[in-house]
Amino acid sequence: MLDKIKHIRKMNMNPILKKELRLGSRSIRIPLAVMFYDIVLAAIAVINIAVVSMGNRMAEDINFSGYLSVFQVIGWTQLGITMLIVPILTAGSIAGEREKQTLEIMLTTPKKPITIICGKLLASLSNYLIFVISSIPIMAIAFVLGGMNWFALLGYIVMVIVLAVYLGSIGVFCSSVFKKTIISIVMSFLLEGLILSIPFCIFFGVIIVVELVAEIYNDAMLNTAAAWWDPNFGILPLILTVHPLTGFFDYMMRVMNLTSISEILKSANCFGKIMPILANAWIPLNIICSGGISYFFLRMAAKSLNPLKKGKKKKIAAQNRYMQAQQKKPAGVPPQEQAQLYQPQQPPANGQATQPPVPDMNGITERLTQPDLPARQEQKESQ
């Protein structure tokens, strides 16, 4: 029974993921990087604990929730590192395969481009996951010392993985669009920065514009409304729902018992009763949005890998039908192209002009027995 399950699971595993895991297990690069990463995180944690303990000693009173800041510091550090390493891990995935010239061969197999893309993304994320999992013990210091629960940690990991999938999709997308690994890495950082900053730009842009307008008209009501935390403005943070970082911020703020963005949303007095519900479901909503955007990027990546486009197929079919209709004309090439096409092949005046250059399958074409066709002459002249 167990054997059977194992067998089925083996069968269903993405072959590219399997291959990557196999190859990855041979390389020393990832373990080294993880070790370095954990040393850095541990150092940050130790410094943080030392600072908090010093504060406690001076206050002559133990404040356990102070140790929560260990979680916070590690959490934010990890976020930053995620934004840094995920593009590097993913941006080389398809481009590297292309550089090794193995992508072409993969594309001749029946596996669909989306399978290749997903296999590559999962392989990169599994490497990333090693980083995250290895950091759990360091983050767990926060609850050994108090002020944290397991649930919060689990939530944190979910949030950071959602973000990694999001960034990874952008990386894989760049990797399949841009041919060189280096260019792909640079472009995925650029795209990452752009996409992460656009919602914020809109958000603060609107606020600045409203503020300016209020200034000009000296409108007291608008002026107060311009403060982004103002309940009347509650609709605006909704723009940020599509932004994976805000979900992360919101989560961290909740864990730290700070006023989160969703709290502000809740008190907004627009949309009536829907708003509080939206606000409560903000983090799941955010996850769904991130998932949707990731899916979009993965689809686009698969599309750019596929050498045969659907629309183009229809065009070919239409063209072929057209050519069949034109069969009587020389080889049925669209009229505007005929002249350009057949000039070199037309024999001067031996009555062959109407024959398309279709080779005679049982023998040899005219070219052999009549060696002095214009095409050859041209070539000789050009030498």
Contact residues for other proteins (CB under 8 A)? 7, 10-11, 15, 18-19, 22-23, 26-27, 100-102, 104-112, 307-309, 312-313, 315-317, 319-320, 323, 331-333, 341, 345, 356-365, 367-368, 371, 375-376, 379-380, 383
Residue 319 CB, shortest distance to other proteins, in Å, is: 4
Tell me whether residue 187 or residue 305 sits nearer to other proteins (CB atom): 305
Strand, coil or helix: 65: helix
Beta carbon nearer to other proteins, 164 or 373: 373
Choice between 218 and 340, CB closer to other proteins: 340
Q: What is the 3-state secondary structure (H, E, C) of 192-222?
A: HHHHHHHHHHHHHHHHHHHHHHHHHHCCHHH
Closest to other proteins by CB, 89 or 187: 89
Residue 374 contacts residue 347 (beta carbons within 8 Å): yes
| Shortest CB 330 distance to other proteins, Å | 10
Rounded Cα distance, 313 and 220, in Å = 61
Q: What are the backbone dihedrals phi and psi of residue 39, each rounded to the nearest 5 degrees, phi first?
A: -65, -45
**d(C-alpha 25, C-alpha 39), whole Å:** 21
Helix 244-255 vs helix 282-305: crossing angle, to nearest 10: 150
Integer Cα distance of 123 and 171 in angstroms? 13
> What's the distance, CA 288 to chain centroid?
15
State the minimum distance, in angstroms, from the CB of residue 143 to other proteins: 40
Our CB check for other proteins shows the closer of 31 and 359 to be 359
CB of 10 to other proteins, least distance (A): 7
If the CB atoms of residues 221 and 308 are measured against other proteins, the closer one turns out to be 308
> Residue 179 Cβ, how far from other proteins at the closest point, in Å?
15
Intra-chain end-to-end CA distance of the chain, in Å: 74
Query: Least separation, in Å, of the C-beta of 63 and other proteins?
Result: 52
Cα gap 78→75, rounded to integer Å = 5
The least distance separating other proteins from the CB of residue 12, rounded to whole angstroms, comes to: 10
CB of 101 or CB of 218, closer to other proteins:
101
Residue type (1 letter), 371: P
